[in-house]
Amino acid sequence: MRYVCLVYGDGAAIGALPEEELRQLQRDNMNNDRTLAENGHLVFAHALAPAEATTCLRTKGGKVIATDGPYVESKEQLLGFLLFEAKDRNEAVELAATVPMLRHGPVEVREVMMLEGG
């Protein structure tokens, strides 16, 4: 089964980390991704651009409206995600618990739904 691991945190706080601590966090994340891949779990993982670079789309009166900036009014934003294979939810949670960004914010684990015809 496939699971998405959504990584949340305060992007400004992470960006304000001392340079060496930020580089170490990046190395830790890359090493964890490599380990997940070597063990056959990781499908892919990506960090996201800062929330300030977000464009939010919604419809109003049948028209698509685009607004700049993040949708949520919170310090915690979606910072990145991993997609991995796991035999069940328990294994998915165990794998997500290895994500180094967990030290800086919550990590949400959600099974990917396979839609008919997809």
How confident is the model at residue 117, as a pLDDT? 80
pLDDT tens digits for the chain (118 residues)? 999 999 999 988 998 999 999 999 999 999 999 999 999 999 999 999 888 888 888 899 999 988 887 666 677 889 999 999 999 999 999 999 999 999 999 999 999 998 888 6
Domain assignment of residue 28, given as a range: 2-111
Task: For 36-101, list the strands marked E by DSSP.
Answer: 42-47, 55-60, 63-68, 76-85
> 10 lies in a domain?
yes
Taking the C-alpha atoms of residue 88 and residue 48, their distance in angstroms, rounded to an integer, is 26
pTM for this predicted structure: 0.84
Write down the pLDDT at residue 85: 97
Q: How large is the C-alpha radius of gyration of the chain?
A: 16
Closest CA to 96 of 88, 84, 113, 104: 84
**Domain holding 41: CATH number?**
3.30.70.1060
User: Domains in the chain: how many in total?
Assistant: 1
Q: Within a domain: residue 16?
A: yes
